[in-house]
Chain A
Amino acid sequence: MKKTETATPALVKAKKKRNLAPYLLLLPPVLLVLIFMVYPIGYVFRLSFYDYNPVMPWLNGFKGFGNFVAIITGSEFWQAMLVSLKWVFWEVILQFTLGLIIALLLNQKFKARGFFRALIFIPWAMSGVLTAVLWNLIYNQNIGILNDLLMKVGLIETGKAWISNPSTALPSLILAELWRGVPFFAISLLAAMQSIPTELYEAGKIDGANRWQSLIHITVPQLKETIVLTTLLRTVNEFNSVDLIYSLTGGGPVGRTTTVSILLANQATKSTNYGYGSAMSVICFIILAIFAVIYLKITRFGKEEN
């Protein structure tokens, strides 16, 4: 007994070192979260059980599950949820597909590659205020460039009300957000492609794989981790995104573009209906958390890292 202990002091020490290091490495972020995030998140959860609106003090007080019941039994929330689902689904799918294509293109070696990389990056760097104003000018029925171009080409005869017509409002918003969101995927995927060992492609070539096959069998599996993460994060981002929808349609016409986040912004920011808004955030939180767990399970994220 004693013998073994003395025989391996170095090993024990090494083991201890190993065990402590990750905790030390994680200390700064954990501290940040403990100091700055625990109270705010707890506050939101607590408030969700209250009626709290500072300008209507006569209504304030503990409400139990009242807010949740009101939200879940009302039709407004579920209508908005449907819009949110459409919005998130199309955004993530389209942004990812286009982003992957761009990343593949820009991963090739050719002249002017740097120029195109910087160009693709621009929509993302553009300030949110200008993006909104810009797309407003583009889609404008009377003075918009889109209508003017389409009329010149002869595709339409009179100007269309892109963001006001109930059938084109959501697709038009999706296109604008797509423009802004593509660089995120393009750049993440491009960066991740840099760590795919070139030998893999060489080996594939020797086995007679064509471009398509090497994309499916080498690139995509090697990018899997990045793909899973970026799509998950984008899902959350798009679910919570409000600014473009807010300034282009304000959620109209008649709720066609009212996502859950627009409802939330109306309740918690524009009106000071904090209790109700918090309850809605908590519901969104739960939905997103469930989605994330299922998504990570299905994609077997992080499983083959060892």
Chain B
Amino acid sequence: MNARRTREAVFLRWLPLIIISIFVLLPIYWAIATSLKTDAGILQRPVQYIPNPFTLENYSEAWVASNFSLYFLNSLKVSLASVFFICVIAIMAGYALARYKFKGKILFMGMVLCIQFIPHAVLLIPLFDTFNKVGLVGTLTSVALVCITLNFPFITVLMRGFITGIPYSLEEAAQIDGCSRFGGVVRIVIPMLVPGIVTCGAFSFIGIWNEFLFSLMFLSDASKYTIPIGLRMMQGEYNVEYGALAAGAIIAMSIPVLLFAYLQKYLVNGLGGAVKG
């Protein structure tokens, strides 16, 4: 029995995990190695597997010379504000779609899908016009608003799925116990929705954290630039600062990765717990 279990663990868990990890890790390792090499080392033949000479200069260049600390703050502001609003909108709208029958549901879903079908690049000019008329162009708010508008549709539909997965009977039980409907949502739905909220939050955060096109077009003040714009500056017309670019991108992705590493523990079966409790 024990031997069988070990064999199972090896073939059904560790072996596939290791193969997949290699596929995932190889480019990541290469990014890290690149960030620790000199420019000559990066373009050297034969290939340098271990950075030699090893240098941390790329990190200091990315951080100091490119004003990263400022961009970092701006990116955080835009991302956190957008993610917050997207999640609130998505929970509200997702709840409506999951729990109510009403006229116009199909229309709403259709509208939400349609937004996804138009390539964002062609929306750039008219969106810019719109924000320009309201006088918002050049502000982080405009970037956040665009991010919210472009990202909420999918998140809403996804959230609807998560809410549908929570049995309505639990809410009803709470209402019988004297909760208002809103109270039932707060006490029953939200706690059980945590895996869904984490997923939706991660999805929207990643998208917005790395958003480049609209940020660059809407912002015309270096003090408001976000990280993706800073990274693009490492790629000039005639040369790429490979090392600094890799270092900058690694610094940039550390935030979402650390955030997710922490939040992933909430990706556990919410139902199992609820039923037991």
Contact = CB atoms under 8 A, between A and B. Distances in A.
**Is B truly associated with A?**
yes
Interface in A80-133: 98, 101-102, 105, 108, 110, 114-130, 133
Interface stretch (B37-45, B50-58, B171-179): B37-45
A44 B122 contact: yes
B116 interface: yes
Highest count of chain B CB atoms <10 Å: which of A19, A125, A230, A233: A125
A135 interface: yes
A32 B244 CA distance: 38
Nearest to A18: B100
B117 A236 contact: yes
A126 B249 contact: yes
A123 B24 contact: yes
Nearest to B250: A130
14 contacts: A118-B264, A120-B24, A121-B256, A125-B253, A126-B31, A126-B249, A134-B31, A145-B30, A187-B203, A229-B157, A229-B161, A233-B116, A284-B119, A305-B98
Contact of B260 (A29, A121, A230, A242): A121
B165 A188 contact: no
A196 B271 contact: yes
Interface in B181-215: 192, 195-196, 198-199, 202-203, 206, 209-210, 212
A137 B42 contact: yes
A274 B156 CA distance: 31
A39 interface: yes
A199 B114 CA distance: 38
Contacts of B257: 118, 121-122, 125
Interface of A: 18-19, 21-23, 25-26, 28-30, 32-33, 35-37, 39-41, 43-44, 98, 101-102, 105, 108, 110, 114-130, 133-135, 137-138, 142-145, 148, 179, 182, 184, 187-188, 190-199, 211, 225-226, 229-230, 233, 236, 240, 242, 261, 264-265, 268-269, 274, 277-278, 281, 284-285, 288-289, 292, 305
B119 A240 contact: yes
Highest count of chain B CB atoms <10 Å: which of A19, A129, A233: A129
A242 B157 CA distance: 25
A289 B117 contact: yes
A191 B93 contact: no
B64 interface: no
B51 to A, nearest CB: 13
Contact of B164 (A21, A264, A269, A305): A305
B115 A37 contact: yes
B249 to A, nearest CB: 4
Is chain A's binding surface mostly helix, strand, loop or mixed? helix
B80 interface: no
Interface residues of B, number: 107
A124 B153 CA distance: 20
A266 B268 CA distance: 45
Contacts of B1: none
B16 A101 contact: yes
Contacts of B209: 125
B162 interface: yes
Given A36-B145, A39-B126, A143-B44, A25 B95 contact: yes
Contacts of B98: 305
Highest count of chain B CB atoms <10 Å: which of A44, A187, A192, A194: A194
Contacts of B92: 25-26, 28
Contacts of A148: 46-47
B239 to A, nearest CB: 12
A117 B149 CA distance: 29
B127 A36 contact: yes
Contacts of B198: 191
A187 B96 contact: no
Contact of A41 (B26, B45, B100, B123): B123
Interface string B90-122: 001101111010101100100111111111111
Contacts of A123: 24, 27-28
Contacts of A278: 122
A108 B206 CA distance: 25
A192 B161 CA distance: 8
Contacts of A18: 100
A35 B126 CA distance: 12
A98 B121 contact: no
B118 A281 contact: yes
B249 A261 contact: no
Nearest to B269: A194
A191 B267 contact: yes
Contacts of A289: 113-114, 117
Given A130-B246, A289-B114, A135 B260 contact: no
A37 B149 contact: yes
A191 B122 CA distance: 33
